[in-house]
């Protein structure tokens, strides 16, 4: 009897170690994303392919390739001007920007991005594995190189997994010309007598501590703590900030300026639970804190409604709220000296955001097909553009090959 | 919704789960990251549109997203 029980245990462990993937099956997941913002702002078309290949019993190699095209227009941070403003500084793929009097300031751009992520998971023993990762992301005005190392240690009954990891990244940033403007430099002066520097760079160091737990036979929970320290050039070389008079009328424009250090921390918790009707809920909450005075809360809830085997509908809601960064100012006061750091980037403003959508999954051609349609609504407290509305469509297909 | 909430409370009832009782947990829907390619896309979108980032994990390439 004990022998049968042991054999069952070994069999179950083998199944668990493979997760939802068949033994020795190569899994290919391919996805297309269409992201489009209202008012002819940003449009993104993205293709992603992710391959996961087991090598023997103890190793899994993964490769993820991403190709993005980004077009449209994005707010510069400047306020509505009273006269037409024309600046020859090249935007990301654009030829500069020209803003008619009285219209909000947008800069047109286009760019492409290629990204490669490589991962290797090696199981050293029944309860211990290591995850090695490397990534490269290339754009005309941004390059990123990163690496990561994560340890996963399970308890002997494999109901608890402890994770610890470190990661690092080196990024270079510039305008498309390969230059970066002087932080808090006067835009109009620069267009005639440019004061630009070479490429900026920044270095990021991350650490992770996590625990995931099988709470009962239908529930899994997770708790992660991450800390990230970044130093170097974190200014957005395209973003501007207006200096205005007491009536809010623009007098001058400056390039923004951000601090050279940032410490970010997150506490992330997640719960996955299968209800008695076989539907599954995914619930997560993230608390975020950084030393730019930003605090945020993110709630995410997905409810997978299973119709028959492999057919499902998954409604999704995401709620997000963020305080403004201490460097955020919608404009500069002409009665005050220029600050060392200031940004009117709407992403550093106080934000409230909601995402609503649903995903449909079905079997197709021996794999699974998923379609997702979502609507994102963001509101900003003080930024010149006080809302952002976007549609997200994603179609994905996954199949395993023996 | 109330029923779902009540049922979800069962998620907090802890029990010692034996290996042969983990069948449900191997289903794709029960993975902590049930759709990694969707998570990747979401992380990228919200990284580009909000000031917060991270939580689920570490590593991965950055971008100069607008």
Say which range, A121-125, B6-10, B53-57, has the weakest mean pLDDT: B6-10
The pLDDT value recorded for residue A5 is: 45
- Residue of chain B minimizing CA distance to A51: B37
- Tell whether the model's pLDDT for residue A9 goes beyond 50: no
- Write down the pTM of the prediction: 0.89
Name which residue leads in pLDDT, A164 or A83. Answer: A164
A74 Rama sector, left if φ>0, alpha if ψ -120 to 50, beta otherwise: beta
Contact B54 A204 (CB under 8 A): no
Q: pLDDT band at residue A396, thresholds of 50, 70 and 90?
A: very high
Contact A294 B52 (CB under 8 A): yes
The pLDDT value recorded for residue A6 is: 45
Say which range, A80-89, A203-212, B31-40, has the weakest mean pLDDT: A80-89
Residues 44-63 of chain B with CB under 8 A from chain A are: 44-46, 49-63
Of B17, B37, B65, Cβ closest to residue A159? B17
Q: pLDDT band at residue A107, thresholds of 50, 70 and 90?
A: confident
In a mutagenesis test of the B interface, which of A219, A368, A378 is the best target, namely the one with the most B β-carbons within 10 Å? A219
Of B30, B40, B62, Cβ closest to residue A280? B30
Contact A137 B61 (CB under 8 A): yes
- CB contacts, 8 Å: A36 with chain B: none
- Tell whether the model's pLDDT for residue A101 goes beyond 80: no
Of B12, B24, B64, Cβ closest to residue A217? B24
Give the 3-state DSSP-derived string for chain A, with helices as H, strands as E and coil as C: CHHHHHHHHHHHHHHHHHCCCCCCCEEEEEEEEEEEECCCCCEEEEEEEEEEEEECCCEEEEEEEEEEEEEEEEECCCCCCCCCEEECCCCCCCCCEEECCCCCCEEEEEEEEEEEEEEEEEEEECCEEEEEEEEEEECCCEEEEEEEEEEEEECCCCCEEEEEEEEEEEEEECCCCCCEECCCCEHHHHHHCCCEECCEEEEEEEEEEEEEEEEECCEEEEEEEEEEEEEECCCCCCCEEEEECCCCCEEEEEECECCCEEEEEEEEEEEEEECCCCCEEEEEEEEEEECCCCEEEEEEEEEEEECCCCCEEEEEEEEEEECCCCCECCCEECCCCCCCCEECCHHHCCEEEEEEEEEEEEEECCEEEEEEEEEEEEEECCCCCCEEEEEEEEEEEEEEEC
The pLDDT value recorded for residue A16 is: 42
Q: pLDDT band at residue A22, thresholds of 50, 70 and 90?
A: low
Convert A290-310 to b/e letters by CB count within 10 Å (16 or more is b): bebebebebebebbbebeeee
Say which range, A75-79, A102-106, A176-180, B33-37, has the weakest mean pLDDT: A102-106
Contact A264 B20 (CB under 8 A): no
Angstroms from B42 CA to nearest CA on chain A: 10
Distance from C-alpha of A24 to C-alpha of A53, rounded to nearest angstrom: 7
């Amino acid at each position: 009897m004990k022998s049968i029980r042991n054999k069952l245990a070994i069999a179950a462990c083998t199944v668990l170690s493979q997760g939802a993937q068949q033994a020795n099956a190569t899994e290919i997941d391919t996805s297309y994303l269409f992201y489009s913002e209202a008012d002819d702002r940003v449009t993104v078309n993205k293709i992603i392919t992710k391959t996961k290949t087991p090598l023997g019993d103890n190793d899994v190699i993964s490769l993820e390739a991403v190709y993005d095209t980004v077009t449209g227009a994005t707010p510069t941070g400047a306020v509505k001007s009273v006269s037409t403003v024309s600046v020859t500084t090249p935007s990301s793929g654009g030829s500069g920007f020209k803003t008619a009097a009285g219209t909000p300031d947008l800069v047109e751009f286009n760019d492409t991005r290629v990204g490669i992520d490589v991962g290797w998971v090696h199981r050293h023993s029944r309860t211990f594995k290591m995850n090695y990762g490397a990534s490269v992301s290339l754009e005309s005005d941004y390059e990123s190189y990163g690496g990561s190392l994560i340890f996963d240690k399970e308890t002997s009954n494999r109901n608890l997994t402890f994770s610890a990891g470190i990661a690092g990244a080196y990024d270079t940033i510039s305008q498309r010309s390969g230059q970066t403007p002087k932080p808090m430099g006067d835009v109009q002066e620069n267009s005639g007598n440019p004061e630009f520097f070479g490429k900026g760079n920044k270095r990021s160091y991350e650490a992770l501590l996590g625990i995931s737990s099988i709470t009962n036979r239908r529930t899994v929970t997770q708790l992660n703590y991450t800390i990230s320290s970044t130093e170097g050039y974190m200014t957005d070389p395209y973003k501007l900030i207006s200096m205005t008079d007491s009536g809010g009328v623009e007098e001058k424009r400056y390039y923004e300026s951000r601090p050279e250090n940032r410490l970010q921390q997150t506490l992330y918790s997640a719960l996955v639970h299968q209800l008695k009707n076989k539907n599954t809920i995914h619930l997560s909450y993230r608390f975020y804190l950084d030393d730019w005075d930003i605090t945020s809360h993110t709630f995410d809830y997905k409810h997978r409604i299973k119709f028959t085997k492999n057919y499902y509908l998954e409604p999704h809601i995401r709620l997000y709220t963020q305080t403004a960064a201490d460097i955020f100012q919608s404009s500069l006061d002409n009665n005050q000296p220029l600050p060392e750091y200031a940004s009117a980037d709407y992403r550093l403003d106080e934000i409230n955001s909601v995402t609503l959508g649903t995903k449909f999954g079905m079997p197709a051609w021996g794999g699974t097909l998923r379609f997702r349609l979502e609507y994102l609504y963001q509101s900003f407290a003080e930024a010149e553009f006080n809302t952002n509305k976007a549609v997200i469509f994603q179609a994905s297909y996954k199949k395993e090959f023996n | 919704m109330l029923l779902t909430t009540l049922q979800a409370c069962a998620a907090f009832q802890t029990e010692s789960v034996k290996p042969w009782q983990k069948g449900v947990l191997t289903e794709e829907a029960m993975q902590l990251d049930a759709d990694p390619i969707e998570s990747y896309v979401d992380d990228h979108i919200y990284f580009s549109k909000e000031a917060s980032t991270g939580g689920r994990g570490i590593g991965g390439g950055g971008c100069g997203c607008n």
